[in-house]
Chain A
Amino acid sequence: MPNPEHDPRLLLLSPQDNVLVVCRPVAKGETVRVDGAAITIAAGIQTGHKLARRAIAEAETITKYGASIGVATLPIKPGEHVHIHNIRSNYTASYSLAEAKAAFASARGGS
């Protein structure tokens, strides 16, 4: 459902959430509306990814669907991409293809 408080490309799943889900990509430099306020996007964010609804402190719980999905490992600015570079699980570690690719590239570069 479109919410006049938020850019139509952003979805708030639960009122207590501190992240919004990106339904259609937002590009670097664009201004988007979050809780009625204009925020400039520092780095582009793809569909299915999350951005911060407000400033989030290091060690603060990340809430999506009204439930904890992990904690911040760094301070996060409003509108910033919220992902594995700045949050972690309270259960088990997450792995990404980008990490594997970077590790492969550095290993090959070093040999």
Chain B
Amino acid sequence: MRGYPRPDGRKGVRNTLVVAYLVECAHHVVREIALPFRGRDVHIIGFPGCYPNRYAQTMMEQLCTHPNVGAALVVSLGCESFNKYRLADVIEQSGRPVEVLTIQQSGGTLASIRAGQEWIGDQLGALENAETVPMAVDELIIGTICGGSDGTSGITGNPAAGRAFDRLVAEGAACIFEETGELIGCEEHMASRAITPELGDEIRACVVKAAKYYATLGYGSFAAGNAEGGLSTIEEKSMGAYAKSGASPISGLIKPGDRPPTGGLYLMDVVPDGEVRFGFPNISDNAEIVEMIASGCHMTLFVTGRGSVVGSAISPVIKICANPETFRALPDDMDVNAGRILEGESSLDDVGGEIYDSVRAVAEGARTKSEALGHTEFILTYKSFEPVGPACLPAAAR
């Protein structure tokens, strides 16, 4: 495998230029700026809120300096609260080209669009022809998520993704699984896999926090489509989702934007700390994907039963279809047919091996189905977190 070297020592599997809006009011201008670059690696990210939020600031800083990002154009309306000075400084310090456009000081919509397109035009050639260097599996960070789950997700796609995770972890990669609200009922089993008893306690506590948070909201992380697909309860969905984590020991508990300090398997706690505020923890699958990307994920393994079609800005999404009927219905959107397991044509190990091979191929530049179709979904909303405690990270990293 080969990657794009970054000054901080990390390597990217893509060399994407991000165009970031710092408030919804700048979103249209950003869309127009990016329009002529359709089909090239120019992705839109952004934060819609006008009021400051430490979490959103951290997420945007981590995303704009992600190893898959080669340059960033930051677009501000001019009166929003987002700290664009700090964001631009972080990007500049990372050694990446950065430009800040403030619409109110750049002559408005049309002039800003022209200026933004001109800047991108000046940057893209160098990004597309940048040199790559050898990259090893132990330099990869891989996330996993399941979305549009049904009764097949937990018996084909999720355990197959778990097999791929086991192999990646064994070879030194960092792997992240998440959505503690969908791990309710699995807390004792997860705690038993923690590398220290103290980490086990932290894992139990974060699932208790998730259960309380959802109880306050009045509903769990269970969508109507889950029931249509045969899942009856959140516990059943949890047991199936948990299989994505594989069987490796759990090395640490991180929060969105925290980078795994070593290889190994990490659980990401995505449920905000403190009292319930700002609403539902993750309003859709892409909110979770974005959080794992902010923690450095080079790509995401996405297991779907009902048939999600999303991709993501910044990091490619490998779509693993758990349900053979869905695979036949949406073949252009699916990278891996894990439903073969149900039809007796393949084993979990076969599909796990195929997923592992896909990870390597995508790291080498192969486009995933969602990438080729131009899916670059992105969503970031308000949250609040406290830093993780010392027992959450492996001793070698403390």
User: A residues within 8 Å of B by Cβ?
Assistant: 2, 8, 11, 13, 21-24, 46-50, 62, 64-65, 67-70, 82-84, 87-100
User: B residues within 8 Å of A by Cβ?
Assistant: 150-152, 154-155, 184-185, 211, 214-215, 219-220, 222-236, 239-240, 305, 323-325, 342-344
CB distance from A84 to the nearest CB of B (A): 5
B151, B152, B214, B323: the one within 8 Å of A92 (CB):
B214
A98 to B324, CA, bound (A): 23
Check B239–A92 contact: CB distance below 8 A: no
A69 to B151, CA, bound (A): 13
A21 to B151, CA, bound (A): 8
Check B239–A91 contact: CB distance below 8 A: no
Q: Which of B220, B232, B324, B343 has the most CB of A within 10 A?
A: B232
A46 to B151, CA, bound (A): 10
Given contacts A64-B239, A69-B232, contact A92 B225 (CB under 8 A): no
Check B230–A50 contact: CB distance below 8 A: yes
Check B227–A50 contact: CB distance below 8 A: no
Chain A residues within 8 Å of B185, by CB: 67-69, 91
Check B235–A95 contact: CB distance below 8 A: no
Chain B residues within 8 Å of A48, by CB: 150-152, 229-231, 305, 323
Check A92–B228 contact: CB distance below 8 A: no
Chain B residues within 8 Å of A83, by CB: 227, 230, 232
A96 to B219, CA, bound (A): 12
Check A93–B219 contact: CB distance below 8 A: yes
Given contacts A91-B220, A93-B219, contact A64 B228 (CB under 8 A): no
Chain A residues within 8 Å of B211, by CB: 91
Q: State the majority secondary structure of interface residues on A.
A: loop
Chain A residues within 8 Å of B232, by CB: 50, 62, 69-70, 82-84, 87, 89, 94
Check A84–B227 contact: CB distance below 8 A: yes
Check A11–B230 contact: CB distance below 8 A: no
Chain A residues within 8 Å of B234, by CB: 89, 91-92, 94
**Can you sample 23 A-B contacts with CB below 8 Å?**
A8-B344, A11-B155, A24-B342, A47-B152, A47-B325, A48-B152, A48-B230, A49-B230, A64-B239, A67-B185, A69-B239, A83-B227, A83-B232, A84-B232, A87-B232, A88-B233, A89-B235, A92-B219, A93-B219, A93-B220, A94-B232, A99-B224, A100-B224
For A100, give the chain B residue with the smallest CB separation.
B224
Check A95–B219 contact: CB distance below 8 A: yes
Check A47–B235 contact: CB distance below 8 A: no
Check A91–B184 contact: CB distance below 8 A: yes
Check B323–A2 contact: CB distance below 8 A: no
Chain A residues within 8 Å of B305, by CB: 48
Chain B residues within 8 Å of A96, by CB: 224, 227-228
For B322, give the chain A residue with the smallest CB separation.
A48
Check B235–A98 contact: CB distance below 8 A: no
Chain A residues within 8 Å of B325, by CB: 47
For A25, give the chain B residue with the smallest CB separation.
B325
Chain A residues within 8 Å of B214, by CB: 92
A99 to B152, CA, bound (A): 22
A82 to B231, CA, bound (A): 10
A22 to B342, CA, bound (A): 9
Check B342–A94 contact: CB distance below 8 A: no
A67 to B187, CA, bound (A): 12
Chain A residues within 8 Å of B184, by CB: 91
A97 to B148, CA, bound (A): 13
Chain B residues within 8 Å of A98, by CB: 227-228
A23, A67, A89, A90: the one within 8 Å of B342 (CB):
A23
A46, A70, A95, A97: the one within 8 Å of B236 (CB):
A70
Which A-B residue pairs are the 9 nearest by beta carbons?
A48-B151, A92-B220, A48-B230, A49-B230, A89-B233, A69-B236, A96-B227, A70-B233, A97-B224
CB distance from A49 to the nearest CB of B (A): 4
Chain A residues within 8 Å of B344, by CB: 2, 8
Chain A residues within 8 Å of B220, by CB: 89, 91-94
A95 to B233, CA, bound (A): 9
CB distance from B126 to the nearest CB of A (A): 49
Check A50–B151 contact: CB distance below 8 A: yes
